[in-house]
Amino acid sequence: MKLTLSGLVCGLALGCASLTASAHFLVMYTPQTALLRGTDIPFTLVFTHAFAGTPTMAMEKPQRFYYSRKPGPSEPSEEVDLSQYLEPIDWHTEDTTVSAWKANVPRNEMRSLGDYQVVLEPTPYLEAGEGLYIQQFAKVMINVGGVPGNWNETLGLPAEIHALNKPYANWTGGVFRGVVLSDGVPVPFTQVEVEYLNHDLDVENNRFVEEGKINAPHPSLEAMVILTNADGEFSFALPKAGWWGFAALTVGPEKEFNGMPLSQDAILWVQATDLPK
């Protein structure tokens, strides 16, 4: 096998990007994803480290914010732009304030029964200290009324996690499964980072609650890493109620932006619910 200089440089750059992007998560927080009826749906959009709640990185205005929905069983899915509802906010951390975003999507936009795949496509973020850009294509799914829709469809994102379970319908302790895709093609034996959203969001004051829900006894339990199999599939048992983020790093097809390495990542948020007593 012949290894060219350009191939070596590309490989080193991607390795660097993968290590640096580690633990970065584009958080798409909304209180509840399984809704009984249509209502106003608030989103808080923060670029941070999910388990630690810090450091938090400044976000430019996202390139796209929209949902994909299937109007009827025999109809194709349609996209609805939600960017008009984006509002900039100042997100407060222990030692600084950074730019983040919120959106209050009104009831009339998401009142019909069924699934809504909500997607955030951000502007690439410059990780200046490491000399690379990060762009995370993030999804969260909302269901209204329990009627299934397009939760199991792919959207053709450059980097995407295809859900094999409904991300909004998971009991604590259940197993969530997905497939990592690059331009629609499964990615075998790639790393998927899994992090628990360990700090509640104080959305009134634009900050994370200081005290975390759990204390991890070892760093490897803060950002857990699993590998996809030969078909690009992964599975993970959800041990605690709340939000779990899945991140497949550097899987997108574009590897360069503004003359620097680019990590295109796939993010999917999954909500776990405790069994009622």
From the number of C-beta atoms within 10 Å of its C-beta (0-12, 13-18, 19+), residue 183 rates as middle
What pLDDT is recorded for position 17?
Answer: 42
What pLDDT is recorded for position 38?
Answer: 93
| Residues 251-275, mean pLDDT to the nearest whole number | 97
Residue 184 is assigned to a structural domain of this protein: yes
**Residues 113 and 1: beta-carbon distance below 8 Å:** no
What pLDDT is recorded for position 201?
Answer: 96
What pLDDT is recorded for position 12?
Answer: 40
For residue 110, the cross-strand partners are none
What pLDDT is recorded for position 22?
Answer: 53
7 has a pLDDT exceeding 90: no
1 has a pLDDT exceeding 70: no
DSSP states along 148-179: --STT-----SEEEEESS-TT-EETTPEEEEE
Residue 8 is assigned to a structural domain of this protein: no
CATH number for the domain harbouring residue 47: 2.60.40.10
Number of domains forming the structure of the chain:
1
4 has a pLDDT exceeding 70: no
Residue 12 is assigned to a structural domain of this protein: no
Residue 14 is assigned to a structural domain of this protein: no
Could you tell me the pLDDT band of residue 3, with boundaries at 50, 70 and 90? very low
Residue 24: Cβ within 10 Å count = 24
| Position with higher pLDDT, 95 vs 252 | 252
| pLDDT tens for each residue of 25-79 | 999 999 999 999 999 999 999 999 999 998 999 999 999 999 999 988 788 899 9
DSSP states along 184-253: TEE-TT-EEEEEE--S-EETTTTEE-SS-S---SSGGGTSEEEE--TTSEEEEE--SSEEEEEEETT-SS
What pLDDT is recorded for position 15?
Answer: 45
| pLDDT tens for each residue of 126-141 | 998 888 999 999 999 9
| Residues 103-120, mean pLDDT to the nearest whole number | 96
Given the structure tokens 């006894």, which residue do they identify? Answer: 217
Could you tell me the pLDDT band of residue 277, with boundaries at 50, 70 and 90? confident
Residue 1 is assigned to a structural domain of this protein: no
What's the chain's average pLDDT?
91
| pLDDT tens for each residue of 186-214 | 999 999 999 999 999 999 999 999 999 99
Residue 262 is assigned to a structural domain of this protein: yes
**Residues 129 and 19: beta-carbon distance below 8 Å:** no
Residue 206 is assigned to a structural domain of this protein: yes
Helical (H) or strand (E) element with 15: helix 5-21
| Position with higher pLDDT, 8 vs 274 | 274
**Residues 132 and 261: beta-carbon distance below 8 Å:** yes
Angle at 168 between CA 23 and CA 52, to 5 degrees: 25
**Residues 135 and 267: beta-carbon distance below 8 Å:** no
| pLDDT tens for each residue of 155-191 | 999 999 999 999 999 999 999 999 999 999 999 999 9
14 has a pLDDT exceeding 80: no
Quote the tokens at residue 265.
């990542």
Residue 29 is assigned to a structural domain of this protein: yes
Give the structural domain span for 98: 20-273
Q: What percent of the chain has pLDDT over 70?
A: 92
How far, in Å, CA of 159 to CA of 185, rounded?
Answer: 9
How far, in Å, CA of 25 to CA of 198, rounded?
Answer: 13
